[in-house]
Amino acid sequence: MQQHPFHLVEYSPWPLLNSFAILCMPVGMIFFIRMGGSALFLLGALSVVLISYLWWRDITREATLQGFHSTTVVKGLKTGIFLFIVSEVCFFFAFFWAYFHSSLAPSVELGSVWPPLGITTLETFQVPLLNTSVLLLSGVSVTWAHHSIEEGDHKGALQGLGLTLLLGFYFVWLQYGEYMETSFSIADSVYGSAFFIATGFHGLHVLVGATFLTVCFIRLWLMHFDKGHHVGFLGAAWYWHFVDVVWLFLYVSIYWWGSM
């Protein structure tokens, strides 16, 4: 009999296999850039999707069907999610540092002005403002879903989470349309590089968060969450709020201040 409250996981092939699959993606991208072949990148991407599904399936079984996620385990999971979000804050901090390093003291090569000469910025109060409203509204709806779960309102939780997913994918669609309308590219000075790297990685995080919430929606539909056990949804909600906050900083610094 187990004499401690911790969950010692069984041997699993998924962490090692997923590491190799993820390695195939950047290596495959290099091959694609240098030689034009995309087979390795596609193999890595498909492998990551398949292995992640199998890994999440096992974790779901441990939490929902086998009852391994005790109070102590849940506390550890919450700490891990928090530290992961802290690492993501550091990730985006590097992009903001690069942006303000170039914008606060523009070099002579940029014309000593910001935005650089020849760059026509996007209208601050058009699609970017709509995107901001959409993402903030999605933060409200995911909070609605969270409170519904805690109150035992299954229907309200499904409605709130479904609305969050619709708004999240709508945000990505709007950002794609915005990219199609820009008069500059990632190769147009440091402004283009900073703009597309920062907003592009944020868009990628929105897609990851939407995937996370989609899994939670399926689990919610299958009655995997209740008032006392919904740490998977809680992690997804925390991540989604983090994505919201990062977008606010991006909107204020790049779209508003950076276009003045």
Per-domain residue ranges for the chain? 1-68, 81-259
pTM of this structure? 0.88
Average of pLDDT values for 140-165?
96
> What is the spatial distance between Cα 209 and Cα 206, in angstroms, rounded to a whole number?
5
Least confident of 103-117, 128-142, 162-176, 243-257: 103-117
Q: For residues 184 and 192, is the Cβ–Cβ distance under 8 A? A: yes
CA distances from 68 to 4, 5, 6, 9, 246 (A): 12, 9, 8, 9, 34
Pair of tokens at residue 178: 């915005």
According to DSSP, residue 257 is labeled: G
| CATH code of domain 1-68 | 1.10.287.70
Confidence of residue 2 (pLDDT cuts 50, 70, 90): low
Full DSSP string of 186-234: TTSHHHHHHHHHHHHHHHHHHHHHHHHHHHHHHHHHTT---SS--HHHH
Average pLDDT over residues 239-259: 94
Give the mean pLDDT of the chain: 91
More confident call, 250 vs 2? 250
The CATH number of 81-259 is 1.20.120.80
